[in-house]
Every structure is written in structure tokens, then in C-alpha cells.
Amino acid sequence: MSTPALDPALHPALEPALHPAPDTVDLGDPGTFAGRGLDGFWRTLRDTAPVHWNGPADGRRGFWVLSRYDDIMATYRDNVNFTSERGNVLVTLLEGGDAGAGKMLAVTDGRRHHELRKILQRVLSPRVLDQVARTVRTNTRRLVREAVESGGCDFAEEIAGRIPMTTIANLLGVPGQDREFLLSLTRTALSTDDEGVDEVESEMARNELLMYFMDIVEERRAAPGDDVISMLLGSSIDGVPLSDEDVVLNCYSLIIGGDETSRLTMIDCVRTLARERVQWQRLKEGKVAIDTAVDEVLRWASPTMHFGRSVVHETELHGVRLRPGEIVTLWHASGNRDERAFERPGVFDLGRAPNKHLAFGYGPHFCVGSYLAKVEVSELLMALRDFTTGFEQTEEALRIRSNFLTGFSTLPVRFWPDPPGLKEVD
């Protein structure tokens, strides 16, 4: 089925692509991503400089940039020449390391990573996740139904801003009255739409999140419950119980990963479908499987633009020598649009299959929360399909400011109700 041309204003990947000289683009600067789409820049790198050096700027050290899908996959698989234990995103890599190294799953390698991952997979067991999935369904359908019946809303604030935070907060046993506070902290920690928020404020927000969870951990030690924090406190590696710091850092990782990426993906999904009428009709009429549509939504949004590694042993890629201690960044924003890996990657196709996107990373550090993220997006798609005949964006969306995440913090929309669907009992 042919797909009509998209309005560039409704998706950054389709805005007039920038074709600046690669050496003039600083990927360490959040402002670089606040303007128009970088598709042309990424295409240039993939074709001419698949291992690109982003030079030092504004006091930040330089780093390597990988833009091709296959190179990103190969680096994710290589835990001999590359490590996550010095940080896995630019904000920590450029500061010289991550305080959670060796304790937080995302920045731990080797045997401890394997054992810690087993613990998290156990506490996020199918029994726990099936119960959470039912809650996600109920919550999502209630929020979407209310918004449709009222005619519209700021989708980012009133729906996408509530579903993931409610999900992860329920898992961690976070009191309901604290959730708005935590949402504000996660936004400031990694992404904001306010140019006035600097790195110092972001660092303060990250520290405040850690202090908040330290208080929760102390409460759970005194009075354990059936939440993930309590289960982590009862876990051990080689007979040694996880420390308070171990638990706090992994709670921080879960809430950052569990909220930001799902929220931004859902916002992008609605923003794109509001214009992509043919794709919307395919979804509405049941012509594409929900699971298949979810994968394309994730590929298209690519909310996590990159992850990073540090070189451990000298190695070579495309004739470029990578030396110990150097930073290598793996750009999903480019890999998920690589013509070598995806047919017509610039086309949003809900029926795309196969679709081995990079939204959750790959290899040993494949996102432990991927199941929940897919549940959240799939429930959103089904609620939109059941309760609306369509929707439109009514005002310009406000883009977040980040060199790690991409997306929007606002999305005013108007819904067109589907009366038969709204009459159905969930």
C-alpha cells in the first residue's frame, strides 16, 4: 500500500534535512537537536564517515560516532573491546564516568551484570508483569476514553505523562502523591523543554531522585512489601545481599528508563498517526497486527538517540583505530534509518516486517523493561483504535532539549469519537 507524503512540520525526521559538513555538527550539544531534522547529516556519515570523530567543544572532550546499523550491533555484542562501566550516555561519559558503575545494571559488565540481570528478571517475573499489564490496560483505556469524550487534551501531559510513570511507580511501590514530583525530576534529569535548565540543575535532579529512593529503601527495610524494591532488598549475589546503594541505583535506572522512553514514544506515535491517515486507517481497520505496529512506532520514534561505550582494548573499525579510554557512541537515531538494514527507512509503515530496530539496544544490555514498554504502546494503539475514528494535532508541539533523548513535551490534540466503540464495556 502506498503511503502519502508526510507534512514535515509533523515529524522531525521529515523536516528539510540538514546537510552541514560533519565537522560543524556537535552531537554533544543539546541545542544541535532542537532545530530541524538531521537525516541528511546522518546519511552523510553512514555513506562517507561511518566512524566519525566529534571533536572537543565548549570544554567537552571529543568522542567517536557510529552511524551504521551493523556497526552499532557489532559494538553492542563486543564486551571484550568495549565497556559500559565508565558510563553509557554522553552526560556521564563526558564527565569522566558513572557513579553507578559496577552497581547499576546499565553500567555494569561481566559476571556481576549477568547476576544482577537475573535478579531483575526474577523480580520482573511473568506473574508480576502480567498483573502490571492488566493495570496498564485499565489505566490507558480510562485515560483515552476520558480524553475522547471531552473532545481533546494535551496528549503529552494528560495521557503519555501518566501511563508509564503510573506503571513503574506501581512496580516500585511509590506512593501516588509522589508521582507528579518524580515525573518533574525525570524530565529535568535527562530532558527538558526549558533552555534555562542547565547541566547543574539536571545533576541536582538526578541526585534528588537518588535521595528520594534512599528514603524509600529505608522504609522498605523496616517494613517490606510485595513491590520490586522489597524484592531487591531480599536478593543477593554470591551470598552477599544487595546494598542500599545497589537497590537505589537500580530503582533510579528503572524509573528513568521506564518513564522517559515510553512516554516519548507514545507522544511521537500520536503525533505521527495524526498525519499518517493511510497508516491510521490500516490500524483502525485491523489490517496490521498490533505487535507489528508497535515495533514500527518504536523504530520511528527512536526516543533514545544513542548509548555509549568506552574502549578497553585497542581495536579497529573501517580503518579507524580506536584507543583505550576513548568514548564510542552508538546512534540509534541513525541506525534505525539505515538503508542497509531497512527497506525505505524514511517511510512509516505499520506493517513493516521484519523490523529488528534498535530502540531497546542489543546484546547483554538489551533493555530489561522492553516488555512493559511494548505493553504500554500496544494498549495505547488499541485504545485509540477502539475509541476514536481519528485525531488531529491542534497546536505546535514543544520539543525537549537533550543530547540523549528526542521527542516532545507537549502535544495538543482533538479526538473524533467512535460512538460504537465508546459504548463497549472494557
Give residue-wise pLDDT tens across range 250-298: 998 888 888 888 999 999 999 999 999 999 999 999 999 999 999 999 9
DSSP 36-49: S--HHHHHHHHHH-
pLDDT in tens, 319-333: 999 999 999 999 999
pLDDT computed for residue 193 by the predictor: 56
**What pTM, to 2 d.p., does this model score?**
0.91
Rounded to whole angstroms, how far apart are CA atoms 96 and 248?
21
What would the mean pLDDT of 140-159 be, rounded to a whole number?
97
pLDDT computed for residue 19 by the predictor: 67
Confidence of residue 74 (pLDDT cuts 50, 70, 90): very high
What would the mean pLDDT of 102-110 be, rounded to a whole number?
95
- The rounded mean pLDDT for the chain is 90
Q: Which sequence spans correspond to the domains of the chain?
A: 8-423
Residue 11 in this model has a pLDDT that exceeds 80: no
Query: In angstroms, what is the C-alpha Rg of the chain?
Result: 21
Rounded to whole angstroms, how far apart are CA atoms 154 and 5?
25
Rounded to whole angstroms, how far apart are CA atoms 426 and 424?
6
Rounded to whole angstroms, how far apart are CA atoms 275 and 98?
40
pLDDT computed for residue 275 by the predictor: 96
> What are the CA-CA distances from residue 418 to residues 252, 285, 389, 390, 404 (Å)?
40, 13, 5, 8, 38
For residue 412, count other CB atoms closer than 10 A to its CB.
17
268: closest CA among 412, 415, 407, 372? 407
For residue 309, the one-letter residue type is: R
pLDDT computed for residue 282 by the predictor: 98
pLDDT computed for residue 381 by the predictor: 98
Name the H helices within 98-233.
110-123, 126-150, 155, 163-172, 179-190, 199-222, 228-233
pLDDT computed for residue 196 by the predictor: 57
For residue 321, count other CB atoms closer than 10 A to its CB.
11
**Domain spanning 8-423, CATH class:** mainly alpha
What would the mean pLDDT of 80-98 be, rounded to a whole number?
93
pLDDT computed for residue 263 by the predictor: 94
1: closest CA among 336, 298, 350? 350
